[in-house]
A and B are shown apart, each in its own frame.
Chain A
C-alpha cells in the first residue's frame, strides 16, 4: 500500500485546469435581514479533497456549511454538487451528511439506533442495516458500546458516534462543523489524524469548518481563509503559511512580524524596502512593486535569527535591539526583541541541544537578521 504521504503529495486537482470540481459554489450571497453573512462567494472543491473553511466566529463559514447541508438557502448565487444544482433541494434529499458541532446525538436512542437512523429512513432492509451499523461501529472502535445511550458515553466517544452516524449513509460529501471543538487537546490531536486516515480510507470529500488554524493546517488539503463573508485566500497549508496573499491572512495564520515601509529600489527578482523602523531590507519578490509604493513585509518568527554579534549581511536585513521578553516553551524559545524605534519583534529558535552555554538573557543588546527569501511582500 502506498503511504499516505505519497498519495497526498500527488493529490492536487485544483492545479489541473481540466479537473471538474465536485462542489462549485458560484457567487453565493446569504443575507439575514441587513446582515450579509456570505458575500458573493465562489469556491471549487474537488473530489476526495479534505477542504477546510477557516475563520473567526461570524466570518460566514458556518453559514456556508449550512447552505451546503441545505439548512439555509442562498439569497443569490448557486451551489452545484456533482453536476447537479442544489437550489431548492431540501436537506433530506441531499447526498451530503453533516457532523454537528454539538454532535446532535438523539438522546432517546442507543448508539446503534443513532447510527442506524439515516439508514432506516432510506428503507434499507434490516439485515443490511445491522451489517452497516456493525461496520461503522468497528470503524470508530465503538463496537462494545452499541447498546449505550449517548449520555452514558464520554465526549470523545460521543464524537465518534456522531462521526459514524454521519458516515453510515455513505454520503458523497461529509460536512463537519467544528468536529473536534469539544475535545481536549490530546484527544483532539489524535482524532485529527484519525479523521485524515478515515477520509483517505473511504475516499470521501470532507468539508470541515473550524476556527482552529492548527486543526485546519494539520488535516486539510486546502484551506479557505474567510473574513466578513468573503474568501480571502484559498491555498494549501504551506502556501497559506509561507505565501499569504494579504496582511489579514499573514496575521491570522500563525505568528508574524510585519514591517511597514516604502519600496526604495526594485531589481530583477528582488526589492529593497526602507522600513519605518529605519533599516533596509532586501527580499526576493517575483512581481516587483513600483518604487515608492507603500508595502508591508511579513516575516515569521522562526525565520528571524537572534545573535550577539553583528551578522555578515548587516546593514541589510539586520537591526539592533535589546531582549525585552523571553518565553521558554520547551521545544523552542520565543524572544521578544525591542528595536531602536520601540517596535517589538518576535523571533523563535528551536532548542535543538539540551544545554546552551551562556544563553541569551533579558536586556541584552542583540542583532536580529533574516535571509532574503524569509519575508513575504504584502501589497495591501
Chain B
C-alpha cells in the first residue's frame, strides 16, 4: 500500500470508534437532552415543541426559544427525586463494595490456580450468563421469600426460629446486585492479577515483607486498574438499575431507575424522565472524568 493510502487507512480506523460514539451515544444523548428541555403534552410525540423541517429555519429558531429548563427546576424542587438519587447512589456504593469484597478473593484464587484449571474457573464465572438475567433474578425470589429455600434451610438447621424477611427489602436488592454483577468485578481483577509477575511478590518477601504485607504493599496496588475497572462496571449500571429493585425490592425502596420508569410509563411524562436521565448521566460522568484526569496526571509525573 502506498504511504498516502496507509495514512488514509489509519485515519479511517480512528473514525470507526468516533462514528460509533457519535451515532449510538452522542446523538441519542442530544435527543434526550432536547426532550428534557421540552414541555409535556397530550400528543404524539408527547412533548412540545416538535421541530419540523416544514417550519423552515425561522420557524425552528422560534421554537428553540420555547425550550426551557423548567423540568430541571421541578426536579430540584421535589424531594422525591433528590432522595431517589441519594438512595440509588447509596445502594450502588454499598453493593459495589460488597461485590469487591467477594470478587477479589475469587479473582485472586483464580489467578493463583494452576494453569490447567484456570480456563475452567473462568468458564464457571461466565456460566451464569447462559441463563437469562430475568430468570436468575426471579430465581432469587424463590430463594429469598419467607417460605423460600433460604428460610427453609435456616429453619431446618435451627439457626432461626421464624422466617427472615429478606425479600422486598434493601437486603434483597444488595443480594441481587452483588449476584448479578459479580462476574463484571471478577474478570477485570482476575486479568490484572493474572498478568502480574510473580517474582514481584517474591521480591517483597525477600525484602522482609510477610505474605500479608506483601499483598497490601505490592499485589493490591498493582491490581488497582482491575479493581477500578470492576468497580466502574458494577457501580454505573447499579445506580440506574431497574429490574432488580423492581422485582426484589419493596415498595419503600426508592431508586432512580424505578422513578424514571414510573415517569416514563405510568405518567407518560417524557420531558421529566429525560431530565432525570440527563442528571443521572451527569452524576456518573463528571466524577469519572475527574478521576481519569487525576489518573493521567499521576501517570505523567516523574517523566
Contacts and interface: CB of A to CB of B under 8 A. Distances in A.
A102 interface: yes
A152 B303 CA distance: 7
Interface string B211-222: 001000110011
B222 A117 contact: no
Contact of B199 (A102, A166, A169): A102
A106 B218 CA distance: 7
A344 B89 CA distance: 81
Contacts of A101: 199
B221 A121 contact: no
Given A118-B207, A122-B208, A71 B222 contact: no
Interface stretch (A27-35, A92-100, A135-143, A244-252): A92-100
B209 interface: yes
A107 interface: yes
A121 B303 CA distance: 28
Contacts of B210: 92
Contacts, number: 63
Nearest to B210: A92
Given A108-B221, A108-B222, A147-B302, A92 B203 contact: no
B302 A117 contact: no
A313 B223 CA distance: 73
Nearest to B218: A106
Contacts of B222: 106-108
Contacts of A96: 206
Interface residues of B, number: 19
A149 B302 CA distance: 7
Contact of A110 (B206, B218, B302): B302
Contacts of A98: 202-203, 206
A347 interface: no
A9 B167 CA distance: 83
B207 A169 contact: yes
B124 to A, nearest CB: 26
Contact of A91 (B200, B206, B218, B303): B206
A15 B191 CA distance: 54
A69 B222 CA distance: 24
B207 A117 contact: yes
A148 interface: yes
Chain B interface main SS type? helix
B205 interface: yes
Interface string A67-90: 001110000000000000000001
A321 to B, nearest CB: 51
B247 interface: no
A100 B202 contact: yes
A71 B205 CA distance: 9
B197 interface: yes
A102 B200 CA distance: 9
B204 interface: yes
B60 to A, nearest CB: 54
A162 to B, nearest CB: 9
B231 to A, nearest CB: 18
Nearest to B199: A104
A104 B200 contact: yes
A104 B303 contact: no
A231 to B, nearest CB: 24
A165 interface: yes
B206 A121 contact: no
Contact of A92 (B199, B200, B206, B302): B206
B58 to A, nearest CB: 59
Interface string A105-138: 1111010000001100110000000000000000
Contact of A152 (B199, B213, B302): B302
Nearest to A102: B199
Contacts of B221: 108
Interface string B250-283: 0000000000000000000000000000000000
Interface in A151-204: 152, 165-166, 169
Contact of A100 (B199, B208, B302): B199
A169 B205 CA distance: 13
A334 B210 CA distance: 55
24 contacts: A70-B206, A91-B202, A91-B205, A91-B206, A92-B206, A98-B202, A98-B206, A100-B199, A100-B202, A102-B197, A104-B197, A104-B199, A104-B200, A105-B203, A106-B200, A106-B218, A106-B222, A110-B302, A121-B213, A147-B302, A152-B302, A152-B303, A166-B206, A169-B207
Given A92-B205, A100-B199, A104-B199, 17 more contacts: A69-B202, A91-B202, A92-B206, A92-B210, A97-B207, A98-B202, A98-B206, A100-B203, A104-B203, A106-B218, A117-B204, A117-B217, A118-B208, A122-B208, A148-B302, A152-B303, A165-B203
Interface of B: 197, 199-200, 202-210, 213, 217-218, 221-222, 302-303
